[in-house]
Amino acid sequence: MGIAILLLVVVVLYKVYKKWLRGYKLRKKLDWLPQVPGLPIIGNILEFKGPTTVLHDIQRLMKEHGKLIVVNISFKPHIICADYDFTEFVLSGQSLLNKSGDYLYLTKWLGTGLLTSDGPKWKKRRRLTTPAFHFSILETFVPSFEKNSDIFLQKLDAQVGQDIDIYRYVTLFALDVIADRGLENVIDVEDFVIA
């Protein structure tokens, strides 16, 4: 029994050490960026008050430390950027087409579309969709977005305090917008109870 516990402790410590080492190597690569001072192991987790205040916490950190910072959550460094030039530099590069593991949660919900796909698959899909996102085309979507967003929010307001399947509501919203703008046919599926 004692050997099993000792072995378990050694395995856990080894896994923690590997995570720490990976995070340490990443932090060393990011040394040139301003790092928000944090505590060992937990990093900057205490800077974030809760899930509903994350954006306010990020704003506060950026006011204190600048528009381009690194925060460490547990052993993992995260770059937070509100600098247009740096963002353009990163997004226009060809070497950063692979998504982080954080996108795995979205993949289960959205599949491997433009948002969640990697590398060559993303590049191909992006090239196909680029013409559809010209500013003059997007301006025609605004009235449809506004109308369908109002319906979407009314449906969510009616469900306040209850557990809901958000997937159903988002899908109906997207279908209404696509049918309205892509097919120029208003079908108002969000107004139906059963769809």
Q: Helix, strand or coil for residue 131? A: helix
Q: Helix, strand or coil for residue 111? A: coil
Please state, for a pLDDT cut of 70, what percent of the chain lies above it: 89
Task: Report which listed range, 48-57, 86-95, 107-116, is most confident.
Answer: 48-57
Confidence at residue 60, expressed as pLDDT on a 0 to 100 scale: 93
Go through the chain and tell me how many residues it has. Answer: 195
CB distance 102 to 73 below 8 Å? no
Alpha-carbon distance of 72 to 28, in angstroms, equals 12
Give me 21's structure tokens: 């080492």
Confidence at residue 187, expressed as pLDDT on a 0 to 100 scale: 62
**More confident call, 140 vs 185:** 140
Report the Cα–Cα distance between both ends of the chain, in Å, rounded. Answer: 57
Statement: residue 195 has pLDDT above 50 = no
